[in-house]
């Protein structure tokens, strides 16, 4: 008999009790942004420590300048991998309270529609529900086998919803203790209720503010118009030239380090119904590179976006002014091995090459981080995908995300760890909003999924 089958049975048998435990955690209003709830944050950390001790973890509350971390260790068989599982026990504020159907800190199971039960309450999905999946998987495994299949370290943060100010120094100060073979994070979502997914790519980001300076002062366009450089015109021309007719970015060497997504991954993405992404915001025409699918555009291709532009007279009515300066905020989303600082330098040269001799340009740097990319065919990805596909009606999707998840970058850069991102949230979970919920199927099959992933990665 396989190691996993009785664990799954135990998870099924434990469901009611695991729900009670989640409810107990949700009842603690651990809102990290509001100092009035600081004691509740500590209570949530302490609750987790006590619960983890019942499984046999060496767990402790670890102070930080902000809300405490929970760190817990459990050993595994000789030669087994060491994994770090991350989650966060803090939750978003609940305002406006009057839009909630029920007390956000009095969780319930309710039937959303026939055959679809959900757990209600703040944090039911983000991230208390999700982090307890892994805890419950460990509990069931331990109860069945008397041990865990590998060495496991848990790190639960209490400041994720308020910018994670303590994470970086905590990782640095405890790098020896926390560094594992790889990390696992349960803070993402499923493609839909039947389709789990693994996020292997997170785009990087380079931010630049560019300001074109022309005349020493604002000018009257009647007197100077036609002879004096107009910085808005120079800026518009530069921005307008940054994409070619096919939607490709024209900054030299911009695509260095960009690799093609494997064809079998693209084929899987092509089957997805992605039209709501644009349809829900009133758009329909993909604006990216010609010949690329929407999933490629938002997950696997780099972009140049203009996030803000400003210059001259912006008020009501009209002024016939030629501005002294104009500026734009420009950002690049990066993929693969694109080098943020090389792209910043190439962009600046692209701009400088287009500035008339009597004008000047200044730049302000607004952050830069490379993309985070697990190989689509990395063993942890293929094994986890197979495990997920065993649990859910549909095969697991392997995809990427357009934005960033800071903790993944911190794990990579500070601890040298790759991260497996698997989560069971759904688009309608209303995280950060009134009436947050978590599907009971996510809570139940999510536990089973993590047990299967542990089994697959340690087989």
Site for its own copies in 183-222 (CB under 8 A): 203, 205, 207, 209, 214-217, 219-222
C-alpha span between 44 and 85 (Å, rounded): 18
As measured in angstroms, the least distance from the Cβ of 424 to its own copies is 19
Task: Assess contact for 74 and 56: CB atoms under 8 A.
Answer: yes
Q: Could you say which residues in the range 66-85 bind its own copies, by CB under 8 A?
A: none
C-alpha span between 392 and 445 (Å, rounded): 8
Structure tokens at 295: 């999933």
Per DSSP, the three-state class of 129 is: helix
Pairing state of beta strands 204-213 and 219-220?
unpaired
As measured in angstroms, the least distance from the Cβ of 235 to its own copies is 7
Of 54 and 275, CB closest to its own copies:
275
How many residues of this chain bind its own copies (CB under 8 A)? 78
Q: Could you say which residues in the range 50-69 bind its own copies, by CB under 8 A?
A: none
Q: Could you say which residues in the range 137-166 bind its own copies, by CB under 8 A?
A: none
**Residue 257 in contact with its own copies, rule: CB under 8 A:** no
As measured in angstroms, the least distance from the Cβ of 58 to its own copies is 37
**Residue 333 in contact with its own copies, rule: CB under 8 A:** yes
Of 79 and 276, CB closest to its own copies:
276
As measured in angstroms, the least distance from the Cβ of 299 to its own copies is 9
- Of these, 241, 256, 341, 352, which contacts its own copies (CB under 8 A)? 241
As measured in angstroms, the least distance from the Cβ of 334 to its own copies is 11
C-alpha span between 202 and 400 (Å, rounded): 6
Q: Could you say which residues in the range 283-322 bind its own copies, by CB under 8 A?
A: 283-288, 294, 297-298, 301-303, 305-314, 317-322
**Residue 272 in contact with its own copies, rule: CB under 8 A:** no
Task: Assess contact for 322 and 228: CB atoms under 8 A.
Answer: yes
CA angle centred on 292, ends 291 and 296, rounded to 5°: 175
- Of these, 42, 193, 329, 413, which contacts its own copies (CB under 8 A)? 329
Of 298 and 451, CB closest to its own copies:
298
Q: Select from 19-27, 112-120, 185-193, 350-358 the region that touches its own copies (CB under 8 A).
A: 350-358
Q: Select from 81-89, 136-144, 259-267, 279-287 the region that touches its own copies (CB under 8 A).
A: 279-287
Task: Assess contact for 457 and 81: CB atoms under 8 A.
Answer: yes
Beta strands per DSSP E along 107-230: 108-113, 116-120, 151-157, 182-185, 197-202, 204-213, 219-220
Q: Could you say which residues in the range 399-438 bind its own copies, by CB under 8 A?
A: 401-404
- Of these, 258, 359, 375, 378, which contacts its own copies (CB under 8 A)? 359
Helix axes 440-458, 128-145, angle to 10 degrees: 50
As measured in angstroms, the least distance from the Cβ of 354 to its own copies is 10
As measured in angstroms, the least distance from the Cβ of 431 to its own copies is 14
Distance of CA 268 to the CA centre of its chain: 22
C-alpha span between 451 and 137 (Å, rounded): 5
Distance of CA 77 to the CA centre of its chain: 32
Of 54 and 307, CB closest to its own copies:
307
Nearest CA to 163 among 72, 75, 92?
A: 92
As measured in angstroms, the least distance from the Cβ of 210 to its own copies is 12
As measured in angstroms, the least distance from the Cβ of 323 to its own copies is 7
268 burial (CB, 10 Å; 0-12 / 13-18 / 19+) is: middle
């Amino acid at each position: 008999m396989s190691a996993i089958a009785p664990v799954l049975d135990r998870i099924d048998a434990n469901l009611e009790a695991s729900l009670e435990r989640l409810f107990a955690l949700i009842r603690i209003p651990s809102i990290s942004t509001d100092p009035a709830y600081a004691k509740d944050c500590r209570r949530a950390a302490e609750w987790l420590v006590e619960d983890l001790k019942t499984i046999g973890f060496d767990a402790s509350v670890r102070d930080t300048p902000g809300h405490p971390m929970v760190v817990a260790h459990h050993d595994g068989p000789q030669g087994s991998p060491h994994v770090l599982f991350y989650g966060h026990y803090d939750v978003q504020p609940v305002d406006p309270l009057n839009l909630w159907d029920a007390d956000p800190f009095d969780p319930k199971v309710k039937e959303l529609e026939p055959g679809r039960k959900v757990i209600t309450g703040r944090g039911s999905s983000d991230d208390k529900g999700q982090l307890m999946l892994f805890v419950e998987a460990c509990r069931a495994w331990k109860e069945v086998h008397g041990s865990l299949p590998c060495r496991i370290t848990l790190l639960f943060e209490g400041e994720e919803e308020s910018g994670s100010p303590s994470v970086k120094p905590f990782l640095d100060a405890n790098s020896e203790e926390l560094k594992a073979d790889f990390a696992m994070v349960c803070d993402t979502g499923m493609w839909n209720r039947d389709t789990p997914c693994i996020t292997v790519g997170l785009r990087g980001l380079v931010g630049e503010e560019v300001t074109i300076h022309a005349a020493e002062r604002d000018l009257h366009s009647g007197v100077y118009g036609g002879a004096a450089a107009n910085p808005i015109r120079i800026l518009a021309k530069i921005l307008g030239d940054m994409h070619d007719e096919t939607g490709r970015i024209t900054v030299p060497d911009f695509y260095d380090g960009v690799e093609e997504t494997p064809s079998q991954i693209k084929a899987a993405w092509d089957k997805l119904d992605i039209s709501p992404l644009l349809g829900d915001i009133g758009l329909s025409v993909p604006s990216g590179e010609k010949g690329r699918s929407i999933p490629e555009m938002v997950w696997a291709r780099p972009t140049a976006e203009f996030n803000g532009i400003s210059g001259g007279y912006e008020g009501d009515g009209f002024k016939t002014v030629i501005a002294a300066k104009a500026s734009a905020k420009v950002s690049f989303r990066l993929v693969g091995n694109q080098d943020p600082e090389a792209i910043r330098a190439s962009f600046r040269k692209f701009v400088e090459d287009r500035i008339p001799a009597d004008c000047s340009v200044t730049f302000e740097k607004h952050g830069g981080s490379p993309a985070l990319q697990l190989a689509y065919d990395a063993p942890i990805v293929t094994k986890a995908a197979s495990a997920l596909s065993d649990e859910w009606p549909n095969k697991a999707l392997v995809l990427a995300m357009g934005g960033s998840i800071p903790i993944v970058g911190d794990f990579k850069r500070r601890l040298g760890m790759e991260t497996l991102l698997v989560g069971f949230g759904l688009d309608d979970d209303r995280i950060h909003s009134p009436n947050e919920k978590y599907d009971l199927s996510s809570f139940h099959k999510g536990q089973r999924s993590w047990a299967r992933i542990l089994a697959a990665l340690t087989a």
